[in-house]
Amino acid sequence: IKEPGKAADILLKHVPELNSDQVKLSMDYLANEYQANAEYWGYQSTDVWFAFANWMNDEKLINGTIDVEKAFSNKYLMPR
């Protein structure tokens, strides 16, 4: 998040066949999106999971609903 240029360099070092311009532009964009509206990095909300599960069901990627309360946990994260 803090150093997208370094993140891009590390990724390109390990996967050199990637398009370096695309990786760098992507990292610059994603640096502000990794946390986005989350309380802290890694935090996930039931609202987002619920919306995604509904979208997957609407698109016929899954059958039925998902109990989003069982799909993830924030209990192992260290809040700031």
Please provide the DSSP assignment of the chain as one string.
---HHHHHHHHHHH-TTS-HHHHHHHHHHHTTTSSTTSSSTT---HHHHHHHHHHHHHTTSSSS---HHHH---TT----
The whole-angstrom separation of Cα 79 and Cα 7 is: 23
Instruction: Check: pTM over 0.95? Answer yes or no.
Output: no
50 and 75 together in one domain: yes
23 and 50 together in one domain: no
51 and 68 together in one domain: yes
pLDDT confidence of residue 34: 77
The whole-angstrom separation of Cα 47 and Cα 72 is: 12
Residue 2's domain spans which residues?
1-34
43 and 79 together in one domain: yes
49 and 70 together in one domain: yes
Domain count within the chain: 2
42 and 79 together in one domain: yes
58 and 79 together in one domain: yes
69 and 47 together in one domain: yes
pLDDT tens-digit series, residues 37-64: 777 878 888 999 999 999 999 999 999 8
